[in-house]
Amino acid sequence: MDREVLINIEEMAKKMRKTAIDMAFNVGKKGAHLGPGLSSIEILACLYGGVMNINPKNPNWEGRDYFIPSKAHCVLSYYTALAYSGFFELDELNTFELNESELGGHPVMNLNKGIEFSGGSLGMGLSQGVGIALSRKRKKGESNVFVLIGDGECNEGAIWEASMSAANFRLDNLIVIIDNNKLQYDGKTDEVMNLYSLYDKFSAFGFNVCEVDGHNIESLYNKLQESIKLRNGKPTVIIADTIKGKGISFIEGKKEWHHAVLSEEQYTLAVKELKEEN
């Protein structure tokens, strides 16, 4: 069963990356968050393609698992994951960033579409995740709460306040995933504000900590499943080693593509690369 799930997730990730490129190109001069969107494709594909307990036909189901994109500029991966898992029609992705669209450049809470969190300002999502996890604990619910944060986002003090709370309240239903792509808007994360060892920091804050290749679907899937089963009174953080702009050679590892405009020539080249890879 798991092998079939993994194959489906791999196919979903491929479709998500191609669709994300289409979305970024279609917005024209508005541009899109290509770098952070592409680095988190596999993470979101695993969550929505097989890990989370969700029901797109009943998005407000109280027993659901929750996903909070604290790193809210991951919308290219987030919206495509929601669409491919059935929360809304794929055609709606064509409205991305259009006037009056419900799919903006940062997510706005819309539970009917599976969007649990309004994001934009960094450092806020983990606190919301802590609140939801605490609520589910007190109501004796079985829900898991997944929060995606960026490595650059860990510059925010609110991340560490929320982390202290998560450990203090023994929130072993909280799983934090760090998209550790080593770049942020202003440059390399270790040059803007060196985080040194995220592993040591989160360990000291009372988390279970593990590291994984953030683009290896089998490894990601297994770590996520292990984290769900690990109910030892401690929250968990998964440090996912990723590449900003993953999948497109001229975007990978370049800070200029954090938010940028994709020209027709670049779009054609990107689509060609993805076809050759597949």
Query: Which CATH number does the domain housing residue 42 bear?
Result: 3.40.50.970
Q: How many domains does the chain have?
A: 1
Q: Are 253 and 245 in contact (CB under 8 A)?
A: yes
Tokens of 184: 């942020």
Mean pLDDT, 10 residues at a time, over the chain (278 residues)? 90 98 97 97 98 97 96 97 98 96 96 95 96 96 96 96 98 98 93 94 98 98 96 97 98 96 98 92
DSSP-based three-state secondary structure for 177: strand
Q: Are 39 and 244 in contact (CB under 8 A)?
A: yes
Q: What is the pLDDT of residue 1?
A: 53
Residue type, 126: L
| Host domain of residue 182 | 2-277
Q: Model's pTM, two decimal places?
A: 0.97
Q: What is the pLDDT of residue 250?
A: 97
Residue type, 74: C
Q: What is the pLDDT of residue 2?
A: 84
Torsion angle, alpha carbons of 252, 40, 8, 24, to 10: -70
Give the Cα separation of 197 and 214 in Å (integer): 17
Query: Would you mind telling me the total number of residues written for the chain in this entry?
Result: 278
Selection from 92, 47, 93 nearest residue 214 by Cα:
47
